[in-house]
Amino acid sequence: MNTREGNELLANPEVVKGIGQKIDNHGSDEDNSPTLRVSYCDHIWSNLAGYRIFNIELSVRMGALHEVVWSLSGFELAGFDLTGEEFHLISRLVYEKFGINLGEQKRMLVIERLQKELRRGGFSSFKEYYDHVTQDTTGQALLTMIDRISTNHTFFFREKDHFDLLTAEILPKILQKLPGAGQNLRFWSAGCSSGEEPYTLAMTINEYLGPKINIIGVDILATDISVTALAKASRGVYADTETAQISSGLKNRYFMKSGDGTWAVKQSLKKMILFRRLNLMRQTYPFKNKFHVIFCRNVMIYFDVPTRTALLERFCACLEPGGYLFLGHSESLGRSSELLKYIKPAVYQKVVRG
């Protein structure tokens, strides 16, 4: 590396950050006068397992004499470059396996969310990481990757009007048609993230049924692809700030406050819900019985139109005749669909044929 390249490196704030002081460089290669210079900036291995290792030397040169007066070695976190080709490979894999559509605008998101995995695994590039994920026959690396990529944002009583509609109109209608003993109310929270949605459902149904909950069985299946989100959901422990949307009455009935200020879901609510990992991109779902209500809210926004259309068909195949589908408010189907009838914003009912 020559002096000019060394100087350019020092002009890079990323490199200077590790030095902690500005180095003034005087003199040039042609100049033979006593001079202080950065004579070389050696051994910079960019992106070695996500770290940049550098060694910078400051030397004094006078004629042929050349003495190192100061040197600094160290390492610092370096960002990984994601080439167009690498982004294409990763986004195609995520789309094919999970239906999630990572448009060009998600490039920074991919870098931010995956570079920790590259560092953790000691990979030197996204391509190397991609090869590892696709060659891992256990499927674990793929699960970890989607765990990082997927957006799990959720909260209790999100889009609250849906839960109000459930108690005001939908539950009474479903119960009217329930043939009686031995019949359970069956709900599916598809893309349940860390559990706030199915627990909200469980609280709402409990409040509505009151003591009748002991006669009418209620089963809530809650599924997601994210292992981390599901682990939090099954644990059912939430920080005080995460429970802000739950009224104090409901909180006291369905949660227990721990010494550290967190809130743990009571067993009576937990036992209504079965948490399972399930990829919605499966072509068939392994369910014995159909559902009265499916919630799949704020999940389809990540899918493209053909993926959404196919998913809606699969949901309809899993719904009881006249069953209900709740989507997120930004995922509305509009008012016309052959399989589903519009009920309220983002709420649809399976059309009964014949």
Ligand X SMILES: C[S@@+](CC[C@H](N)C(=O)[O-])C[C@H]1O[C@@H](n2cnc3c(N)ncnc32)[C@H](O)[C@@H]1O
* Whole-number Å distance between alpha carbons of 30 and 323: 84
Q: Does 81 qualify as catalytic in the annotation?
A: no
Active site residue 277: no
**DSSP letter for each residue of 10-28:** HHSHHHHHHH-S-------
Closest separation in Å from C-beta 147 to ligand X: 8
Question: Catalytic one among 147, 158, 186, 224?
Answer: 224
Distance of CA 268 to the CA centre of its chain: 29
Identify which of residues 52 and 232 has a Cβ nearer to ligand X in the complex.
Answer: 232
Please state, in angstroms and rounded to a whole number, the distance separating the CA atoms of residues 342 and 354: 19
The CA angle 113-118-120, to the nearest 5 degrees, is 105
Residue 184, beta-bridge partner list: 217
Q: Please, how many CA atoms are within 13 Å of residue 343, restricted to the half-sphere of its CB?
A: 20
Nearer to ligand X, 152 or 167 (CB): 152
d(CA 155, CA 151): 13
**Residue of 113, 119, 235, 314 marked catalytic:** 113
Nearest-approach distance from CB 39 to ligand X, in angstroms: 53
Q: How far is the CB of 120 from ligand X (least distance, A)?
A: 20
Least Å from the CB of residue 98 to ligand X: 4
Give the number of other Cβ atoms within 10 Å of residue 121's Cβ.
Answer: 15
Of residues 187 and 302, the one with the C-beta less far from ligand X: 302
What is the three-class DSSP state of 160?
coil
* CB closer to ligand X out of 323 and 328: 328
- Is residue 200 within 8 Å of 156, Cβ to Cβ? yes
- Residues of this chain that interact with ligand X (CB under 6 A) are 98-100, 150-154, 158, 191-193, 197, 224-226, 229, 279-281, 297-299, 302, 328
Would you state the structure tokens that stand for residue 297, as one six-digit string? 């809210």
Please check whether residue 6 is in contact with residue 38, taking contact to mean a CB–CB distance below 8 angstroms: yes
Q: Among residues 193 and 349, whose Cβ is nearest to ligand X?
A: 193
- Rounded Cα–Cα distance for residues 243 and 59 (Å): 60
Task: Find the shortest distance in angstroms from Cβ 114 to ligand X.
Answer: 15
Q: Point out the residues that are catalytic.
A: 113, 224
